[in-house]
Amino acid sequence: MNLLDRRRFLVLSGVTAATITSVAATADPDPFPLGVASGDPLHDSVVLWTHVTGAATVRWEVAHDEEFRRVVRHGEAVASSGAVHVIARELAPDRWYHYRFSVDGVTSRVGRTRTLPAPGADARHLRFAFASCQAWAGGPYPAYRDMARQDLDFVVHLGDYVYETANGSLAEFRRLHALYKSSPDLRDAHARFPFISVWDDHEVLNNWAADHKTSPDGRPFAERRANGFQAYYEHMPMRTAPVGDEWPVYRRFRWGRLAEFAVLDTRQYRDAQACGDGMNKPPCDDVSDPDRTMTGPEQETWLLAGLRRSRARWNVLAQQTILARFDYDLGPGRSYNLDQWDGYPAARQRILDTIVRYRPRNPVVLAGDWHSHWVNDILADFDDPASPVIASEFVGTSISSGIGWDAAVRQGLPANPHVKLYNGSYRGYVMCDLTRDRWQSTLRVVVGQEVKTLAVFEVRDGVAGARQVEGGDGISGRVSTADGPLANAEVVVGSVRVWTDANGRYLAFVPAGTYTLEVHATGYESVRRPVTAGQQQDVVLTRVTAPYAGTGRRVPGPYAEAGVTDVVLGNELVAMAVANGFADPQLPGATRGKPVDLAAVGKLDQLDWMHLPYVSAVRPTGTEAWQRGLVVASTVEVDGTTVRVRAAGGGVDVVTTYEVAAGEPWITATSVFTNPGATGTWWLGDAIDYDGPGQRSGVAGHGTIATPYGSPAAYLTTGRWIGMTGTDAQTYALVYANSGFTAYGNGNWIQSQHEVTIATGGSWTLTRRIAALPTTTTSPWAALDTL
């Protein structure tokens, strides 16, 4: 059984902490199976923690040396539900100590901790790491193994320390914390550095907000919250304890005059998410309500007052979710993650206005939650992209939690030029090094079982905004054209595919060695060149000067599915892949010859597939109408700029010819249906399924079709097109040479339906333009009537 399988087994089986310890390799003896930890350091005290089994009284010691020859504090503590919390007081400021616990002659491992510099001290240097999101099912924790080897002063944990299950009992939360602490890498990090910790949502329930949630096991939410709080306290080095379901954990830490940290709780006091919550969702009126708060009035007042009074060189907001705006909609609309600060813009603006008015020195925001690395400029007013940069934000990727929304973020990047770096491909953490003159953030990522540097960014004292100073350990560079940086180009190195951001930057991690670097972009000639891991490679692309059809190219995009055997047609405006080896399980045995990737110039592929064409003896209806009438191709032939597909199905032979010409934002597709048998009537046409976020269908004369999934309907068209679009400001459409057909479908897919009678030996021809258009107007369908 491999480690991931073992972990899943343990999660599902509910084994005890003692059993977990016996499975994992560990240096922590009974009765200290969960190790030792310290946290909440001040200039004269620090919290020491352990968890014991079968003991009530525990002896503790603090010493200057690891051998405990110079013990400076000691005492006894009584365990409560196994948890031991000791506040070691009257310690000297700004120095390291060692600590340990003992029970009945058995001594724990030796932990290492430190105090902060005295208030007002002229501290010159600070080095810390911050982390979040460590789902157990995500696998082991090499990020913590790497962190424990660093020279850090402390670690800030921004939440999602454990991930909840449906069971909200205290016993279940205790089981989860014990399970997570069974990681030797996590225990090593705790033993080596003091932690400053705060929760996010999964310590209680996904996306919880104050008391605006329902526990999935039916228990009162206040009880679930109290159980989550209690287990968190029992397993973390926290200075205070909860009282039922209330526990103020926002607090402030000062590193002399160098840095001041405001550690926020953005869960316990927030208003419920607006518009029913959701990611990549247009904001409703409630979003702009000026009274909505992320932190609650009392915490917000505390935060703003601290920013007004601060005299620190660096002013840090350590909190959970992304503060910078991120609009997923590349068109004129807006689409946000309403669980982040984008769902609470008035509260965010009050923070930004305070920074603008009172000018605390060098504000820096830390965040987690979104399982990806970000570096963001914080603008004075996100409604005005030209407003000044007033702060920098570093968002750390997850320790182990996966990301299912990477493609949606990548396609939204061009609408958010204040995002200086985004990468959702890797797990890891962020290491920060501060002096009086500069802040340096090193973005660490897990590659296999190794940890490497993704990039290094720097903020200079008195200069708002971060700039990249190192490209990291991978293959990195910038893709540009004669007109400047090129967004949405695809870079392929070995099996790794990445896409350029709004500034044309890319970064790919591969093991040491020599590779072929490929760069593909719709409307541009592909480039291939040798590259060695660790190099920086800038690439300049030239525009396509003649239409093409053949293998060896790619339609760029994280949703793209075509491989090396599939055929790509394109010109300077559009590119489309026709399947010749790729097989989609939704079109079983019938994907060959059908369009599977499609993108306009400057865009990424958002197409799942086009079922083009279909042949059905009965009119397709119902939720699976898009799959009716599968035809199976026998050959895919390429001739110059033409691709010809020979297929058959439903008793009809079909030859579909795809052609591309210069200067046209479409591919022409002509299907000839020939009847080799008796005269008959068929339903013929095509279906479109759009893969990207915000998907919605359109029909001529009806505009946007908002019918929900599971409720398809028929629409008589007043024009000659059907289409789909989403938040990437790109419209896909089939524009027919003939009119008089019916459109059938819903917001998730749309198809054309032509009722045709074909005599024996006769044929019928269906011609359409497959269009991919960048949209810039309020109507994504406006241009289709002119094609």
Q: Report helix, strand or coil for 7.
A: helix
Q: What are phi and psi of 256, to 5 degrees?
A: 55, -140
H or E element, residue 650? none
Q: Is 707 exposed, middle or buried (0-12, 13-18, 19+ CB in 10 A)?
A: middle
Distances (CA, A) of 475 to 76, 334, 493, 501: 54, 34, 9, 15
Distance CA 150, CA 429 (A): 12
pLDDT the model gives residue 654: 98
How much is the pLDDT for 474?
Answer: 86
**Structure confidence at residue 448 (pLDDT):** 83
Question: For 266, what's the count of Cα atoms within 13 Å in the CB-facing half-sphere?
Answer: 28
What per-residue confidence (pLDDT) applies to 501? 85
Q: How far apart are CA 620 and CA 743, in angstroms?
A: 11
Place of tokens 């200290």: 32
719: buried, middle or exposed (CB in 10 Å: 19+, 13-18, 0-12)? middle
Mean pLDDT for back-to-back runs of 10 residues, the chain (787 residues): 31 33 59 98 98 93 97 97 97 98 96 97 98 94 97 98 98 98 97 98 97 94 98 98 97 98 98 94 95 97 98 98 95 93 98 98 98 98 95 98 92 90 94 98 92 95 94 89 94 92 87 92 96 92 97 93 96 98 95 98 94 97 94 96 97 98 97 97 97 90 86 94 92 95 96 98 98 88 91
Whole-angstrom Cα Rg for the chain: 30
Q: For the beta carbon of residue 294, count every other beta carbon within 10 angstroms.
A: 28
∠ CA 149-153-154, nearest 5°, is 90
Judge whether 24 and 184 are in contact, CB under 8 Å.
yes
List the Cα angle 291/293/298 in 5-degree steps. Answer: 100
**Three-state secondary structure readout of 116-167:** CCCCCCCCCEEEEEEECCCCHHHCCCHHHHHHHCCCCCEEEECCCCCCCCCC
Cα gap 130→365, rounded to integer Å: 12
Residues 6+ apart with CB under 8 A from 215: 168, 205, 221, 223, 224
Provide the pLDDT for residue 332: 85
- Distance separating alpha carbons of residues 618 and 684, to the nearest angstrom: 10
Is the sign of the CA dihedral 775, 779, 783, 784 positive or negative? positive
Tell how far CA 660 is from the center of its chain: 36
Which residues fall within 8 angstroms of residue 347, CB to CB, at 6 or more apart?
A: 292, 293, 294, 295, 300, 341
- pLDDT recorded at residue 17: 35
DSSP track, 488-533: T-EEEETTEEEE--TTSEEEE---SSEEEEEEEETTEEEEEEEEET
pLDDT at 324: 98
CA distance 737 to 765: 10
Residue 473 pLDDT: 84
697/685 Cα distance (integer angstroms): 16
Report yes or no: 351 and 360 within 8 Å, Cβ to Cβ. Answer: no
Rounded (5°) CA angle 549-550-556: 85
SS3 of 229, please? helix
What CA–CA distance (Å, rounded) separates 124 from 117? 10
| Predicted pLDDT at 778 | 79
Query: Which of 770, 755, 756, 718 lies closest to 739, judged by CA?
Result: 718
Q: What are phi and psi of 723, to 5 degrees?
A: -155, 170
What tokens were used for 461?
């004292």
pLDDT digits (tens, 9 = 90+) for 426-465: 999 999 999 999 999 999 999 888 899 999 999 999 999 9
Token pair listed for 129: 């790491």
Residue 213, both tokens: 């949630």
Q: Hey, which residues does 636 pair with through a beta bridge?
A: 645
**Residue 720: C-alpha distances to residues 555, 665, 767, 781 (Å):** 27, 17, 11, 12
Residue at token pair 């010159």: 124
CA distances from 479 to 116, 374, 423, 443, 634 (A): 45, 20, 16, 22, 39
pLDDT of residue 716: 94
Q: E strands, 18-69, where?
A: 36-39, 46-51, 57-63
Owner of token pair 């007043």: 718
User: What tokens does 619 get?
Assistant: 């009119």
Which residue, chain included where needed, has tokens 């919390």?
A: 85
| 62 Cβ contact list (under 8 Å, min separation 6) | 48, 71, 72, 73, 74, 88, 91, 97, 98, 99
Distances (CA, A) of 783 to 458, 730, 732: 45, 11, 11
CA distances from 727 to 333, 409, 499, 604, 671 (A): 8, 11, 18, 12, 31
For the chain, the 3-state helix, strand and coil shares in percent, each to the nearest 5, are 15, 40, 45
728, 559 Cβ separation under 8 angstroms: no
Residue pointed to by tokens 């560079």: 477
pLDDT for 20 equals: 33
pLDDT at 16: 33
Residues 499/492, Cβ–Cβ less than 8 Å? no
Using CA atoms in the order 294, 297, 303, 307, what is the torsion angle rounded to 10 degrees? 110
CA distance 143 to 160: 15
Report the DSSP beta bridge partners of residue 207: none
Q: What is the pLDDT of residue 3?
A: 31
Could you tell me the two tokens for 739? 């009119």
Between β-strands 125-131 and 154-157, what pairing exists: parallel, antiparallel or unpaired? parallel
- Give the predicted TM-score (pTM) of the model: 0.87
